[in-house]
Amino acid sequence: MAGTKFAYVKIFELPDPLLPGTYILVRLDGHGFHRLSQDHDFVKPNDERALQLMDHGARDVMNEFKDIMLAFGESDEYSFLFRKSTALYNRRQAKILTTVVSLFTSSYVFNWPRYFHSLSLKYPPSFDGRIVLYPSAKEVRDYFAWRQADTHINNLYNTTFWALVQQGGQTTTEAHSTLRGTVSKQKHEVLFSRFGINYNDIAERYRKGSVLVREKLTAADASGITERMPVEDDDPEGGAGGTKEVQSEKKNKKPKIHAQVQLYHCDIIEQAFWDARPYLLE
């Protein structure tokens, strides 16, 4: 056959299996999103459209890969947790990593108009990603705590910074200078005393980031979920590729246990979130 004498080059493709029995964490980050946010006039300090678009991409990824139990997003980054027993693609590293990053990217571009409407995307944005393995549940919890603590730190800084600029009339250089060396408490005071902003009144989405959970529910639970916990509908136009599972849910009459991806902006550092969902780390 024509290609036979060249096929030996295939032996250079080395195996790259991930260690079994470990939690697979995929984190992706926007590539050059500082420029992207400027070129598309993102609202400062937080652009809700952009954050919802990120959540949409993450939901699409979770709908495609059922072994992702949890995802956490802030700004232009998202982290996905695969169950430690996943056998997806025989745990081949490059295959898992690239498929997740590619699908997320694709969804981001595909769904851009849904959130930005007439504001067209000017060029193709991209994301990079990495895989990190965690051997135990404790480390996984601490990973997500690390990201949510980061969300808090960044958001408090950015909120104060942009208040100084947008309402306080400072230049960005002055605002940086004002905040240099301040601790959290001082930023809270600046916000409150100078701008009348109580930081804790700011939307949880901005303070806590986005938490996408594959909830295990019975039909009975499902009917009551909106009472028990405020679930945000992040899809302003009512359903798309990313929400097929939810839609098919409505037609399901028989009571059975099933899973559903829910979006929260809740605390995941404290014990309560995890105690309520032991299956996330099993």
Q: Tell the smallest beta-carbon distance from residue 152 to a copy of itself (Å).
A: 6
DSSP string, 2-67: TTGGGGGGGGG----BPPTTSEEEEEEEEESHHHHHHHTT--SS--HHHHHHHHHHHHHHHHH-TT
Q: Where are the alpha helices (DSSP H) in the chain?
A: 33-39, 48-64, 93-116, 137-166, 172-179, 184-189, 195, 204-208, 219-228, 244-251, 271-275
Residue 224 sits at the vertex; the CA angle it makes with 221 and 227, to the nearest 5 degrees, is 135
Return the residues of window 67-126 that contact a copy of itself according to CB under 8 A: 84, 94-95, 97-99, 101-103, 105-111, 121-126
Burial class (CB in 10 A: 0-12, 13-18, 19+), 239: exposed
- Binding residues for a copy of itself, rule CB under 8 A, total 64
Q: What is the pattern of x (binds a copy of itself, CB under 8 A) and - over residues 199-238?
A: ----------------------------------------
* Near a copy of itself by CB under 8 A: residue from 38, 41, 117, 135: 135
Q: Which is nearer to a copy of itself, 158 or 170 (CB)?
A: 158
Burial class (CB in 10 A: 0-12, 13-18, 19+), 3: exposed
As given in the structure block, the two tokens for residue 101 are: 């990053």
* Near a copy of itself by CB under 8 A: residue from 39, 41, 43, 146: 146
Contact 97, 84 (CB under 8 A): no
Q: Is 242 annotated as a binding residue?
A: no
Using rule CB under 8 A, residue 145 touches a copy of itself = yes
Span of 67-75, 139-147, 195-203, 231-239 interacting with a copy of itself by CB under 8 A: 139-147
Binding residues for Mg(2+): 29-30, 76
Binding residues: 29-34, 75-76
Binding site members for GTP: 29-34, 75-76
| Residues at the contact surface with a copy of itself, assessed by CB under 8 A | 1-3, 6-15, 17, 19-22, 28, 31, 60, 84, 94-95, 97-99, 101-103, 105-111, 121-136, 139, 142-143, 145-146, 149-150, 152-153, 184, 241
